[in-house]
Amino acid sequence: MTHTDSTASQATAPAPSAEEALATSTSEASLARSIARSREIEADMPANPGRYRMLTGVRPTGNMHLGHYFGTMRTWAPIQDMGIDTWILVADYQVITDRDGVGPIRERVLSLVCDSLAVGVDPQRSTIFAHSAVPAANQLVLPFLSLVTESELHRNPTVKAELEATDGRAMSGLLLTYPVHQAADILFCQANLVPVGKDQLPHLEQARLIAQRFDKRYGRADKKRPVFRRPEALLGQAPLLLGLDGEKMSKSRGNTIELRMSADETAKLLKKAKTDSDRVITYDPASRPEVANLLTLASLCGAGEPEQIAERIGDGGAGALKTLTIEAVNEYFAPIRARRAELAADEAYLLSVLRAGNERATQVATATLDAVRAAMHMDY
Ligand code: TRP
């Protein structure tokens, strides 16, 4: 079956094609499968850390906030400390998928390096690198593009959603093809473990398809050593935190608490957080989302179970809830913030960490690109 012409392959191949698998990768059944598989991997990670290389990618579009921290960043150091080879990608080329300019990109990239180190990523053991600094990885996009169809790209639900969120911008070639670029991110470094939210599952499926198709088309004669590993999702289990206004937390809405903020700034923001007028504090995410959100945040910061915190506060009202949450957040983040402040003062060090990571990534990308060229008989 060919996948270079999807119309033809649909007409001649009634069996579910790889492309259909991609289109349905967010369906409920396949989501359940991804979650089950992710739990299996999680159980195996501490026992067999040598089996895994983890790659996480972050767009440097603003400063990292508590949503990022509890959503993913807090797992980086524990994964690294298990002995799993940990790679952190500052996805700077991805910043220009859905906006016109790069913004204060240099500051944001260094801020992300700083946050990574502050949460415990050890640059001696882990690799922090940026897209734009690893040409050999980017070059994989060319052969990879030949392995996907235009209709498949147009069908990617996450790309569609991102296009819709751009206020009427035209689809750029980069936005349409960025899942292929993301496949290059994952495949060049042979990562097989990718912590993601479920919105990223279509991209992971796309990466797996590209790996599979490449090996099918150009596979080495012995077939035993595929050029690429097959990446799998590590789906986060963190409860979703809302922004301080009760809406979706997002950098652009300004409803976040950033890792780099001071205790005072944190207190000021939390005091202004939206709540409701019921003095008796209860944990009821469905009908009292804002109050529940503060309880969740305090709980994540070590104040106990949300229901217990609510009981402790009782009829103390939103004021008491905020005081407790402010204390919990500031106490939890104090050591991270202290480390961060020290690191932030040393730009030369941050740059040296990033450059060492870029070099390491370049070595690995060059080796992968060599293998790709050899498989394609383009090694002259
Ligand atoms: N697309 C991801 C996001 O928007 C970021 C990302 C880029 C990524 N490259 C990656 C994630 C590789 C995992 C692996 O959040």
| pLDDT tens-digit series, residues 56-92 | 999 999 999 999 999 999 999 999 999 999 999 999 9
Summarize pLDDT for 252-299 with one digit per residue, the tens. 788 999 999 999 999 999 999 999 999 999 999 999 999 999 999 999
Return the residue whose CA atom lies nearest to atom 4 of ligand 1.
59
Most informative mutation of 203, 210, 234 for ligand 1 (most atoms within 8 A of CB): 203
Confirm or reject: Cβ of 189 under 6 Å from ligand 1. no
Half-sphere exposure of 306 (CA within 13 A, CB side): 16
* Rounded CA separation 298/287 (Å): 19
Query: What is the predicted pLDDT for the residue at 79?
Result: 98
Residue with tokens 């060599």: 370
pLDDT band at 240 (very low <50, low <70, confident <90, very high): confident
* Rounded CA separation 298/276 (Å): 17
Q: What is the DSSP letter of 248?
A: B
203 alpha carbon – ligand 1 mean position (Å) = 9
A 10 A CB-CB count for 168 gives 6
Average per-residue pLDDT in the chain?
Answer: 92
CA–CA distances in Å: residue 308 to residues 59, 284, 302 = 36, 12, 12
Query: What is the predicted pLDDT for the residue at 256?
Result: 95
* Rounded CA separation 330/178 (Å): 37
Using DSSP's 3-state secondary structure scheme, residue 151 falls into: helix
Q: Which segment of 15-19, 78-82, 158-162, 165-169 scores lowest on mean pLDDT? A: 15-19
Which residues are within 8 A (CB) of 44 and not within 5 positions of it... i.e. 6 or more apart?
Answer: 51
Query: What is the predicted pLDDT for the residue at 17?
Result: 56
306 alpha carbon – ligand 1 mean position (Å) = 31
pLDDT band at 116 (very low <50, low <70, confident <90, very high): very high
Go through the domains of the chain in sequence order and give each one's CATH number: 36-238+347-375 (3.40.50.620), 263-344 (1.10.240.10)
46 alpha carbon – ligand 1 mean position (Å) = 24
229 alpha carbon – ligand 1 mean position (Å) = 18
pLDDT band at 10 (very low <50, low <70, confident <90, very high): very low
Query: Given a cut of 80, is residue 220 above it in pLDDT?
Result: no
Which atom from ligand 1 is nearest to the alpha carbon of 191? 14
Return the residue whose CA atom lies nearest to atom 12 of ligand 1.
57
* Rounded CA separation 305/43 (Å): 24
Which atom from ligand 1 is nearest to the alpha carbon of 185? 12
* Inter-helix orientation angle 201-218/173-188, to 10°: 70
pTM above 0.85, yes or no: yes
Query: Given a cut of 50, is residue 5 above it in pLDDT?
Result: no
Q: Encoding tokens for residue 255?
A: 């409803």
A 10 A CB-CB count for 311 gives 13
Confirm or reject: Cβ of 89 under 6 Å from ligand 1. yes
**pLDDT above 70 coverage of the chain, percent:** 92
Q: How many angstroms separate the first and last alpha carbons of the chain? A: 31
pLDDT band at 225 (very low <50, low <70, confident <90, very high): confident
Residue with tokens 């690893």: 134
What one-letter code names the amino acid at 106? Answer: R
Q: Are strands 232-235 and 193-196 parallel, antiparallel or unpaired?
A: parallel
Summarize pLDDT for 319-373 with one digit per residue, the tens. 999 999 999 999 999 999 999 999 999 999 999 999 999 999 999 999 999 999 9
Summarize pLDDT for 145-155 with one digit per residue, the tens. 999 999 999 99
What one-letter code names the amino acid at 247? Answer: E
* Rounded CA separation 147/245 (Å): 44
Most informative mutation of 94, 196, 204 for ligand 1 (most atoms within 8 A of CB): 94
Query: What is the predicted pLDDT for the residue at 19?
Result: 54
334 alpha carbon – ligand 1 mean position (Å) = 28
- In the chain, beta strands by DSSP E: 53-58, 85-90, 127-130, 193-196, 232-235
pLDDT band at 22 (very low <50, low <70, confident <90, very high): low
Q: What is the DSSP letter of 2?
A: -
CA–CA distances in Å: residue 22 to residues 57, 187, 190 = 21, 17, 21
Query: What is the predicted pLDDT for the residue at 6?
Result: 36
Nearest to 300 by CA among 120, 74, 93, 100: 74
Q: Encoding tokens for residue 336?
A: 């991270």
Averaged pLDDT for residues 309-315: 97
* Rounded CA separation 116/108 (Å): 12
Confirm or reject: Cβ of 72 under 6 Å from ligand 1. no
Strand order through the sheet with 53-58? 127-130, 85-90, 53-58, 193-196, 232-235
Which residues are within 8 A (CB) of 24 and not within 5 positions of it... i.e. 6 or more apart?
Answer: 30
Using DSSP's 3-state secondary structure scheme, residue 370 falls into: helix
Q: Encoding tokens for residue 295?
A: 């309880």
Query: What is the predicted pLDDT for the residue at 214?
Result: 97
Distance of CA 82 to the CA centre of its chain: 20
Please say whether the beta carbons of 128 and 349 come within 8 A.
no
Q: Which residues of 41-69 are buried (b: 16+ CB within 10 A; e: fewer)?
A: beeebeeebeebbbbbbbbbbbbbbbbbb
Q: Degrees (nearest 5) of the Cα angle 22, 27, 32?
A: 110
pLDDT band at 222 (very low <50, low <70, confident <90, very high): low
Return the residue whose CA atom lies nearest to atom 6 of ligand 1.
57
230 alpha carbon – ligand 1 mean position (Å) = 16
